[in-house]
Chain A
Amino acid sequence: MTAVPVRPTPRSARAVRSLAMPAFWLLVALFVICGMRLFGILETAYGKYPRATLAALVLFGLYAVPFWLFIVSMDFLEREPALLLATAFGWGAAVATTVSIPGNQAIYHLASKLVSPEFAAAWGPAIAGPTTEELLKGLGVVVIVLIARAQVNSVLDGMVYGALVGLGFQVIEDIVYAVNAVAVAGQGDAIGPVIATVFLRGFLAGLWSHTIFSALVGGGIAYFLVHQERSTLNRLAGAMVGFGGAWLLHFLWNSPLLADGVGGGASGLLLGLFVKGMPALILVLSLARLARTREARFYLAQLGAIHEPQIATPEEVGTLGDPHTRARARRHAKRIAGVKGERAVRALQRAQCRYAVELARLRTIHGTLDPRTDPVLRHRRRAVLDARYRMAVLGLPEALPGTHKRGHALWWALLAVFVVLLVFSALRALGGS
Chain B
Amino acid sequence: MATAGVRLLRNLASSVAVLAVILFVAFGLPAINRMVPAGSDQVGGRAYGVGAGVTVVPPPDARIDLTSTRPGNDRGTVLFLLGPVRYVIVVTPFGGSIDEAAGKLRTKITSTRGYQVTDGEHPYTTAGGLTGIQGCYSAPGRLGRYAVFLSDGRSIEVTVSGSEGELAAQMAQIEASIASIAQR
Contacts and interface: CB of A to CB of B under 8 A. Distances in A.
Interface of A: 20-23, 26, 30, 48, 95, 99-100, 102-103, 105-110, 112-114, 116-118, 120-121, 132, 135-136, 139, 142-143, 146, 183-188
A113 B66 contact: yes
A120 B69 CA distance: 9
Contacts of A99: 22, 25-26
Contact of A112 (B25, B30, B66): B66
Nearest to A128: B29
A181 to B, nearest CB: 12
Interface in B58-77: 64, 66-67, 69-72
B48 to A, nearest CB: 11
B103 interface: yes
A100 B66 contact: no
A23 B67 contact: no
A106 B69 contact: no
A113 B36 contact: yes
A136 B19 contact: no
A102 B108 contact: no
Interface residues of B, number: 34
Contacts of B22: 30, 95, 99, 136, 139
Contacts of B72: 121
A23 B107 contact: no
Contact of A143 (B12, B18, B38): B18
Interface of B: 8, 11-12, 14-15, 18-19, 21-22, 25-27, 29-30, 32-33, 36-38, 40, 64, 66-67, 69-72, 92, 103-105, 107-108, 111
A109 B66 contact: yes
Given A26-B15, A139-B18, A110 B33 contact: yes
Given A22-B12, A26-B19, A114-B36, A103 B25 contact: yes
| Most chain B CB within a 10 A radius of its CB, from A23, A109, A186, A188 | A186
A146 B33 contact: no
14 contacts: A100-B25, A102-B29, A103-B29, A105-B30, A106-B32, A107-B33, A109-B67, A110-B32, A113-B40, A116-B66, A117-B64, A132-B29, A136-B25, A146-B15
Given A113-B67, A121-B72, A102 B26 contact: yes
B18 A183 contact: no
Given A105-B33, A142-B18, 10 more contacts: A26-B19, A100-B25, A102-B29, A109-B33, A112-B66, A117-B64, A117-B71, A135-B21, A143-B18, A188-B107
Contacts of B66: 109, 112-113, 116-117, 120
Contact of B38 (A22, A113, A188): A113
A113 B29 contact: no
Sort A-B residue pairs by CB-CB distance and give the 10 closest, nearest first. A186-B104, A106-B29, A103-B25, A109-B67, A106-B33, A117-B69, A112-B66, A22-B12, A23-B15, A121-B70
Contact of A103 (B11, B26, B105): B26
A102 B111 contact: no
Given A102-B29, A120-B70, A184 B18 contact: no
A35 to B, nearest CB: 14
Nearest to A47: B113
A26 B38 CA distance: 35
Contacts of B107: 186-188
A143 to B, nearest CB: 6
A13 to B, nearest CB: 14
Contacts of A117: 64, 66, 69-71
A23 B21 CA distance: 14
A22 B17 CA distance: 12
Contact of B8 (A20, A48, A106, A135): A20
Contacts of A102: 25-27, 29-30
Nearest to A122: B72
Given A99-B25, A110-B36, A114-B36, A23 B92 contact: no
A183 B14 contact: no
A110 B34 CA distance: 9
| Most chain A CB within a 10 A radius of its CB, from B12, B29, B37, B69 | B29
| Most chain A CB within a 10 A radius of its CB, from B38, B70, B92, B108 | B70
A105 B11 CA distance: 31
Contacts of B37: 113
Contacts of B25: 99-100, 102-103, 132, 135-136
A90 to B, nearest CB: 15
A188 B72 CA distance: 26
Contacts of B27: 102
